[in-house]
Homo-oligomer: A and B are copies of this chain.
Amino acid sequence: MKTGIGIIGVGTVGSGVVEILESKIAYYKQELGLDLKIQQICAKTEDELSPYAQKGYAITTKVEDLFSNPDVSIVIELAGGYDLPLKWITAALNSKKHVVTANKALIAKYGHLLFPLAAKNNCHLLFEAAVGGGIPIIRALQESLTGNTVKSLRCIINGTCNYILTEMTEKGLGFASVLADAQKLGYAEADPTFDVDAIDSAHKLAILASLCSKKYINFENMHISGIREIEAVDIDSAKEMGYTLKLLGIFNQTEQGMDARVHPCLVPSNHLLASVSGVLNAVYIEANNLGPALFTGAGAGKLPTASAVVADVVSIARSMEVGLKPIPMGFYSQENPADLVPIESLFNKYYFRFTTRDEKGVLAAITSILSENGISIESIIQKNVKDPGHVNISVVTERCREAAVNNALLKIGALSSMSQHPKMIRFAE
């Protein structure tokens, strides 16, 4: 039985998918008995498509052609964006085509519409490449860990941010200059908002957290903060304390409900996640039977991402042969939303940095506000800064409630001696 493939988009990942399929199709036939064939390739312009037409592939600029093509059983969507792909995948599923996508934004935003539609049409909708690029974390959560409940998860799932933080840590540079370098090297987009403001991480965390919790977690309900405000001085303080600053996606199943959020974190430097540097991604889970486990590898890039897409295609082809039903994703729907615990109710250990004028009584004012809010201090360090007449006061708290921290920082920020807005970074638990 021939399994026909239609591809939407021949940008970086799409061209990688064609490349891998071309090199592997003979092997899949011989070793796995699967007869895969790229039946049609779609892109916006004839120009993009011409190298594929030259190789003899059927091409089209009309995406609908794929859905009406009886020889196409699997549609691979690699175009990016939200709304067009939603329309396309809806049409593909309604035409009884199985779908593979690498589009995390789409799954995070519209997965709750698409998974029920896929189930209704008895179609597979696979998305291994959407989180962690080539790291097989989706299949691990869906299949390998069926004997476990994943109680908590910590992840580094944006290579751009991890690259920027690694460079800042290793070279002592500031955010802006590292970002500029990353843009030159192609590790950051011209408009880096999605990455550095942690929207991309939030999309991916929402998907992972939904798979762990078996509830639909809407990324719009999560606390999300990025790395724009991180300064070299905070990374240095972290180092001195034996911590490494990372942008983490965090998920916990708590007695109060699901806790899912993305923000910068201080990770103990001897923790496995602290060693994940540069553009690498990593997912660290704590499962009730397995205990802790870490998966790390390339989170982006042409061939790593394409290899995950191809694994999904092979998986669907194997299943199609015998009519294996998709792994139920029924939980991922609007009718089954997670109760997210508001971040204000959570308890954490915190690092604060207050930059103040070097005036009598400042330290006393700060410590008394913290004390009034029930925040106990674990350590406090005062250091002179370059700017004469100013000091940095670094505080590490014991475990306390975020709401109390917000109150205290509001009051401390209003003190007349403060020369900068107070900085706060949470410790990873």
Contacts and interface: CB of A to CB of B under 8 A. Distances in A.
B324 A147 contact: no
A294 B294 contact: yes
B294 A290 contact: no
Nearest to A315: B143
Interface stretch (A81-89, A300-308, A352-360): A300-308
B290 A272 contact: no
Given A31-B328, A275-B272, A275-B275, A293 B147 contact: no
Interface of A: 16, 20, 24, 28, 31-33, 128, 134-136, 139-140, 143-148, 214, 270, 272, 275-276, 287-298, 301, 303-304, 306-311, 314-315, 318-319, 321-325, 327-328, 330-331
A325 B130 CA distance: 28
Given A270-B275, A290-B134, A148 B331 contact: no
Contacts of A325: 321-322
A147 B314 contact: yes
A318 B307 contact: no
A235 to B, nearest CB: 18
Given A311-B143, A315-B143, A289 B272 contact: no
B287 A291 contact: no
A109 to B, nearest CB: 24
A140 B287 CA distance: 18
A324 B314 contact: no
B296 A294 contact: yes
Contacts of A322: 322-325
B303 A290 contact: yes
Contact of A24 (B147, B304, B314): B147
Contacts of A139: 139-140, 143-144
Contact of A136 (B32, B145, B301, B328): B145
Contacts of A327: 32, 318
B20 A289 contact: yes
Contact of A297 (B16, B147, B293, B311): B293
A416 to B, nearest CB: 46
Contacts of A147: 20, 24, 306-311, 314
Contacts of A145: 136, 307, 311
Contacts of A323: 322
A188 to B, nearest CB: 20
Given A143-B315, A322-B322, A298 B307 contact: no
A146 to B, nearest CB: 5
Nearest to A144: B136
Nearest to A139: B144
B315 A324 contact: no
B33 A328 contact: yes
16 contacts: A16-B289, A24-B147, A28-B146, A31-B328, A32-B146, A136-B140, A136-B143, A136-B144, A139-B139, A139-B140, A146-B315, A147-B310, A272-B272, A293-B297, A294-B297, A324-B324
A139 B140 CA distance: 8
B290 A293 contact: no
A377 to B, nearest CB: 31
B318 A304 contact: no
